[in-house]
């Protein structure tokens, strides 16, 4: 079982070179239990979402540029991770496609269009849910719900035996 806050903090360390360009991170961490998961995969999800948020905000004139990362335990066996930015938001026609493989709004050579598609698959594999809430001009929020016990550690133990 894993401390999700540690994974988020490690992700922010990796992205710190992008954050020095004037994006502020506000951490609003709740009291989370340890979560059964594949930590490297969840960190990849956090990385994809946060990196996209930074890129979107660096392209906009909004000040101050902020990303709020909020975590909370919402039930005995469920946690939420919400990553919200105050960037330009996502147009509706784009929002409907953001989890599609190879869909990207980035220039050629800058994005593969796989980050959010892979993120969606990872969260599903963890028996979780991911959704995006966004309005143009009002920022974007990714809400991730994860079970505390996904059965993943049982499958890891079976592999070890």
DSSP state, residue 107: P
30 in Cβ contact with 72 (< 8 Å)? yes
Give the C-alpha separation, 77 to 60, whole Å: 38
**Residue pLDDT, tens place only, 84-110:** 999 999 988 888 889 888 877 776 667
- Surface-to-core class of residue 21, CB atoms within 10 Å of its CB (0-12 exposed, 13-18 middle, 19+ buried): exposed
CATH class of 4-160: alpha beta
**Residue pLDDT, tens place only, 42-94:** 999 999 999 999 988 888 888 899 999 999 999 889 999 999 999 999 988 88
pTM: 0.89
**Residue pLDDT, tens place only, 11-44:** 999 999 888 778 999 999 999 999 999 999 999 9
Q: Which residues contact 119 (CB under 8 A, 6 or more apart)?
A: 44, 45, 48, 49, 99, 130
């Amino acid at each position: 079982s894993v401390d999700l806050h540690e994974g988020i903090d490690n992700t922010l360390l990796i992205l710190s070179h992008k954050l020095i360009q004037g994006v502020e991170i506000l951490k609003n961490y709740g009291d989370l239990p340890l979560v059964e998961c594949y930590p490297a995969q969840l960190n990849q999800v956090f990385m994809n979402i946060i990196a996209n948020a930074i890129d979107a905000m660096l392209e906009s004139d909004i000040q101050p540029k902020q990303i709020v990362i909020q975590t909370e335990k919402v039930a005995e066996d469920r946690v939420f991770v919400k990553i919200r930015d105050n960037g330009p938001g996502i147009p509706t026609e784009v929002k409907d496609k953001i989890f599609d493989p190879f869909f990207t709004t980035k220039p050629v050579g800058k994005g593969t269009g796989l980050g959010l598609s892979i993120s969606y698959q990872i969260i599903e594999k963890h028996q979780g849910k991911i959704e995006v809430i966004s309005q143009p001009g009002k920022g974007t929020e990714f809400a991730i719900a994860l079970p505390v016990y996904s059965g993943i550690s049982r499958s890891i133990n079976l592999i070890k035996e």
